[in-house]
């Protein structure tokens, strides 16, 4: 168990280092175009570029620069954002907090919804309810986030005039503005989690011990709640943890659409404005969050599954 | 005897495999979900092929801005879906845009599959160090949130059709590799592989002509799902302003350009969204139908 833990954490650190090398190579070296041109624009003169390179230490050997860059990152010195004219950290942290709020509400709605639908359709595979839920799930996952954002806006903002169309929270935090972004994310994602839950539930329902439980005359309700659910919900735990990775992609679209001041919109802005320091920091944060959630998913799965835990 | 052996031996090569694939598409008639998928996909394929005949206007020509759906142009033709803020006919842009999507999405998927299949075959069949290295590489790429990966790749190499194909190949081939690897690990111990090895066939011949045709079932289903997903990706990139450069029509880009005016002119934004959603739905329903049929055998 401890060995597995160390192995997972080791792999997590290894991934982060490799990703940092890739990021560095892509954004900080001449591999994909001159960084000086990227920052100063196409019309900067050669002298200006040379001066900029000199000032920012771009004339040192690549390995030295990478070591310095990584050292700065590890000690929390994330550099300066060109667009926001200030330390990246100060720009990044409030944005991350906003996205955490959005993510929390998305998961708070999505998890119960998808688990209930998944269990209901997995209980009786092939039933009318099962088919309906699965086709409904395919339907909602087929609509890209930006399209469902358009549809919901048309309905709830322009049609019924119930909800505000943007979520920039200019006048302070307002829960009403969070509803549409969270709704779009939930609708796109619950189908997948429900399908995974259904598969897990369906598998458990065909197992020997459920058959015995039914045959010895236990009430159906009890079989489901006491016997089936315990095992059926182990796999969805991993799936839900892995959805954090997906959420990091989803928030980019949704925050851009609703002008929500979150992490995803910041990352997009950084890439559109060639704000390299900010883009690097955002990308690293995204990878750290994604890799840690995968590690937690793995460890949690091992912990929840007694067959692995006790072997 | 000869006819029996073709049905019993699964490893007769691609001719029979393609024949069976066509037959299983015929089976789709039994799944109404799959039929709706086929209908939606075929609809857009036909629209894309006959785009010059269906579209009555030049998709990039500025004719009459802010026309409502059904308005009649000076030339006598009708703007069935209205025009956008630059006076371009939305129906014509949708029709030509279907060409863009149905051109790049299959190319990107095919390219991702080529790389993913080769990696998966090598990792699964050779095993050992090759497997370890390829698996670690794909673990690392897959640990990225997809869209973050696309944004970084596009931000560094620039937005263009070919770069979108490269980015999608880079991001999706590891997932395909995992599936292929899993299938190969199961198939490589079959008798017909052992027979081919005894015949002295080369590794690549065995991988491509013995193993791969027998792994096609799950791969076809996955390819349909992935095509839908690639269309989402192309749409999202267009929507974020990282897609194909304007002015050529691109569904995601159309949504981005007109969404600020959606309150007054909802038709500009709604129709491209309906178009892209229906095409993706088509591929997903098709995949579901195929899966249902493959489970039945």
Name every chain B residue with its beta carbon within 8 A of the beta carbon of A146. Answer: 235-236, 239, 252, 255-256, 273
Query: Which pLDDT does position A83 carry in this prediction?
Result: 78
Burial class of residue B129 in the structure, from the number of CB atoms within 10 Å of its CB (0-12 exposed, 13-18 middle, 19+ buried): exposed
Q: Chain B: residue nearest A148 by CA?
A: B273
- CA atoms lying within 13 Å on the CB side of residue A13: 6
Average pLDDT, chain A: 85
CB pairs A-B closer than 8 Å = 129
pLDDT over 90 (residue B277): yes
Stated as kind and residue range, the H or E segment containing B78 is: strand B78-79
pLDDT grade for B129, boundaries at 50, 70 and 90: very high
- The SS3 of residue B190 is coil
For A35, the 3-state DSSP assignment is helix
Residue B9's pLDDT is 45
Between these two residues, B234 and A56, which has the higher pLDDT value? B234
Q: List, for residues A156-211, the tens digit of each pLDDT value.
A: 888 888 888 777 777 777 788 888 999 999 999 888 899 889 988 988 888 898 88
Q: Which of B156, B168, B245, B276 should one mutate to test binding to chain A, selecting the residue with the greatest count of A CBs within 10 A?
A: B156
DSSP helix/strand/coil, A126? coil
> B279 pLDDT exceeds 90?
yes
Whole-number Å distance between alpha carbons of B284 and B38: 10
- Cα distance between the two ends of chain B: 23
Q: Is the Cβ–Cβ distance between B33 and B288 less than 8 Å?
A: yes
CA-to-CA distance for B238 and A147, rounded, in angstroms? 12
Instruction: Give pLDDT, residue B4.
Output: 41
Q: What is the mean pLDDT of the segment spanning B172-195?
A: 91
| DSSP H stretches of helix in A57-166 | 62-74, 88-123, 128-141, 145-152
pLDDT at B137 over 60: yes
Q: Is A166 on the interface with B (CB under 8 A)?
A: no
B15 touches chain A (CB under 8 A): no
Percent of chain A with pLDDT over 70: 95
Q: Is the pLDDT of residue B265 over 60?
A: yes
B81-102 in b/e burial notation, b at 16+ Cβ within 10 A?
Answer: bbbbeebbbbbbbbbbbbbbbb
- Beta-carbon separation of B284 and A138 below 8 A: yes
Q: Do A252 and B144 touch (CB under 8 A)?
A: no
pLDDT in tens, B31-53: 788 889 999 999 999 999 998 88
Residues A132-167, buried b or exposed e (16+ Cβ, 10 A)?
ebbeebbebbbbbbbbbbbbbbbebbeeeeebbbeb
B103-117, B163-177, B208-222: which has the minimum mean pLDDT? B208-222
B284 vs A141, A245, A290: nearest CB? A141
Residues A256, B146: C-beta atoms closer than 8 Å? no
Residues of B in contact with A138 (CB under 8 A): 33, 281, 284-285, 288
Tokens of B276: 């892209």
- Closest residue in B to A264 (Cα) is B148
pLDDT in tens, B9-26: 444 556 766 677 677 667
Using alpha carbons only, what angle is made at residue A308 by residues A307 and A310, rounded to the nearest 5 degrees? 75
* Separation in Å, CA A276 to CA A72, A267, A270: 15, 10, 7
Question: What is the pLDDT at residue B6?
Answer: 40
Written as six digits, the tokens of B209 are: 């002509």
User: What percent of chain B stands above pLDDT 70?
Assistant: 91
Residue B10, pLDDT score: 46
CA B222 to chain A, closest CA, distance in angstroms equals 14
Mean pLDDT estimate for chain B: 84
For B262, name the nearest residue in chain A, comparing CA atoms only.
Answer: A154
Residue A255's pLDDT is 93
pLDDT at A259 over 50: yes
pLDDT at position B297: 57
DSSP B174: H
pLDDT: is B6 or A167 the higher one? A167
State how beta strands B78-79 and B71-72 pair: antiparallel
- Which residue from A139, A282, A294 is facing B281, i.e. has the nearest CB? A139
Please check whether residue A158 touches B, CB under 8 A: yes
What pLDDT shows up at residue B258?
A: 84
DSSP string, chain A: -HHHHHHHHHHHHHHHHHHHHHHHHHHHSTBTB-HHHHHH-TT--HHHHHHHHHHTTTTS-HHHHHHHHHHHHHTT---EETTTTEEHHHHHHHHHHHHHHHHHHHHHHHHHHHHHHHHHHHHTTTSHHHHHHHHHHHHHHTS-HHHHHHHHIIIIIIIS--S-S----TTS--THHHHHHHHHHHHHHHHHHHHHHHHHHHHHHTSHHHHHHHHTT--HHHIIIIIIHHHHTHHHHHHHHHHHHHHHHHHHHHHHHHT--SHHHHHHHHHHTT-HHHHHHHHHHHHHHHHHHHHHHHHHHHHH-HHHHT-
From CA B297, how far away is CA B293, in angstroms rounded?
A: 7
Q: What are phi and psi of B266, to 5 degrees?
A: -60, -25
A146 has pLDDT over 70: yes
Residue A266 has pLDDT above 90, yes or no: yes
Tell me what ipTM this predicted complex has. Answer: 0.84
Residue B88's pLDDT is 85
- Decide if A139 and B155 are in contact by the 8 Å CB cutoff: no
Optimal mutation site among B97, B143, B270, interface A, most CBs of chain A within 10 A: B143
Per the structure block, which two tokens stand in for A288?
A: 């750290």
Cα separation, B237 vs B250, in Å, equals 10
Whether residue A269 has pLDDT greater than 70: yes
Nearest to A272 by CA among B260, B165, B152, B235: B152
Q: How far apart are CA B265 and CA B83, in angstroms?
A: 10
Average the pLDDT over B104-131 and give the result: 93
Per-residue pLDDT reduced to its tens digit, A64-122: 888 888 888 777 777 778 778 888 888 889 999 999 999 999 999 999 999 999 999 98
Taking only Cα atoms into account, the Rg of chain A, rounded to an integer number of angstroms, comes to 24
- The residue assigned the tokens 């959805």 is A243
Query: What pLDDT, on a 0 to 100 scale, did the predictor assign at position B21?
Result: 66
Distance in angstroms (rounded) separating the CA atoms of residues B43 and B34: 14
Residues 240-259 of A with CB under 8 A from B: 245-246, 248-250, 252-253, 256-257
User: Residue B72 belongs to what H/E stretch?
Assistant: strand B71-72
The token pair that represents A165 in the structure block: 């169309």
At residue A33 the predicted structure's pLDDT band, cuts being 50, 70 and 90, is: low
The helix (H) or strand (E) run that includes residue B79 is: strand B78-79
User: Does residue B193 have a pLDDT over 80?
Assistant: yes
Give the residue on A whose Cα is nearest the Cα of B241. A272
From chain B, the residues in CB contact with A250 under 8 A are 147
């Amino acid at each position: 168990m401890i060995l597995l833990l160390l192995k997972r954490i080791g792999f997590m650190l290894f991934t982060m280092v490799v990703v940092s090398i890739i990021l560095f190579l892509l954004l900080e070296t001449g591999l994909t175009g001159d960084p000086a041109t990227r920052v100063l624009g196409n019309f900067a003169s050669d002298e200006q570029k040379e001066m900029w390179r000199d000032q920012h230490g771009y004339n040192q050997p690549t390995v030295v620069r990478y070591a310095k860059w990584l050292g700065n990152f590890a000690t929390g010195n994330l550099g300066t954002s060109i667009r926001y004219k200030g330390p990246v950290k100060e720009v990044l942290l409030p944005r991350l907090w906003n996205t955490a709020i959005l993510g929390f509400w998305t998961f708070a709605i999505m998890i119960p919804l998808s688990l209930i639908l998944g269990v209901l359709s997995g209980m009786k595979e092939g039933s009318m309810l099962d088919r309906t839920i699965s086709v409904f799930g395919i339907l909602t996952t087929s609509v890209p986030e930006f399209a469902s954002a358009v549809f919901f806006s048309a309905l709830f903002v322009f049609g019924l005039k119930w909800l505000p169309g943007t979520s920039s929270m200019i006048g302070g935090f307002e829960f009403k503005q969070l509803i549409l972004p969270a709704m779009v994310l939930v609708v796109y994602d619950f189908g997948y989690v429900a399908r995974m839950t259904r598969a897990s539930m369906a598998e458990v329902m065909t197992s020997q011990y459920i058959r015995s439980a039914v045959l010895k005359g236990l009430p159906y309700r009890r079989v489901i709640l006491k016997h089936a659910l315990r095992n059926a919900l182990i796999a969805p735990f991993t799936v839900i943890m892995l959805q954090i990775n997906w959420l990091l992609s989803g928030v980019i679209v949704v925050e851009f659409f609703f002008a929500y001041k979150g992490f995803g919109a910041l990352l997009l802005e950084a890439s559109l404005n060639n704000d390299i320091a900010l883009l690097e920091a955002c990308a690293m944060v995204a990878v750290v969050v994604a890799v840690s959630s995968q590690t937690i998913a793995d460890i949690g799965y091992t912990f929840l599954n007694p067959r692995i835990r006790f072997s | 005897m000869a006819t029996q052996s073709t049905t019993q031996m699964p490893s007769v090569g691609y001719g029979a495999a393609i024949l069976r694939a066509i037959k299983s598409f015929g089976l789709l008639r039994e799944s109404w979900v799959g039929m709706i998928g086929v209908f939606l996909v075929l609809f857009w394929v036909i629209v894309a092929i006959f785009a010059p005949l269906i579209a009555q206007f030049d998709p990039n020509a500025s004719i009459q801005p802010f026309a409502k759906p059904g308005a009649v142009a000076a030339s006598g033709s009708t703007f069935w879906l209205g025009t956008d803020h630059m006076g371009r006919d939305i129906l014509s842009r949708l029709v030509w845009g279907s060409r863009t999507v149905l051109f790049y999405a299959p190319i990107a998927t095919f390219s991702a599959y080529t790389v993913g299949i080769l990696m998966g075959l090598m990792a699964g069949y050779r095993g050992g160090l090759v497997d370890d290295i390829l698996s670690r590489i794909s673990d690392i790429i897959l640990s990225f949130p997809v869209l973050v990966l696309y944004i970084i790749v596009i931000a560094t190499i620039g937005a263009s059709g070919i770069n979108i194909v490269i980015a999608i190949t880079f991001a999706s081939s590891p997932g395909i590799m995992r599936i292929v690897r899993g299938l190969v690990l199961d198939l490589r111990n079959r008798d017909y592989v052992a027979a081919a090895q005894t015949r002295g066939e080369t590794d690549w011949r065995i991988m491509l002509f013995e193993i791969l045709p027998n792994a096609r079932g799950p791969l076809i289903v996955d390819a349909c799902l992935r095509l839908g997903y690639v269309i989402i990706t192309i749409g999202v990139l267009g929507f974020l302003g990282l897609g194909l450069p304007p002015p050529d029509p691109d569904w995601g880009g159309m949504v981005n350009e007109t969404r600020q005016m959606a309150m007054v002119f909802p038709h500009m934004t709604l129709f491209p969204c309906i178009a892209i959603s229906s095409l993706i739905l088509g591929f997903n329903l098709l995949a579901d139908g195929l899966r249902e049929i493959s489970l039945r055998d």
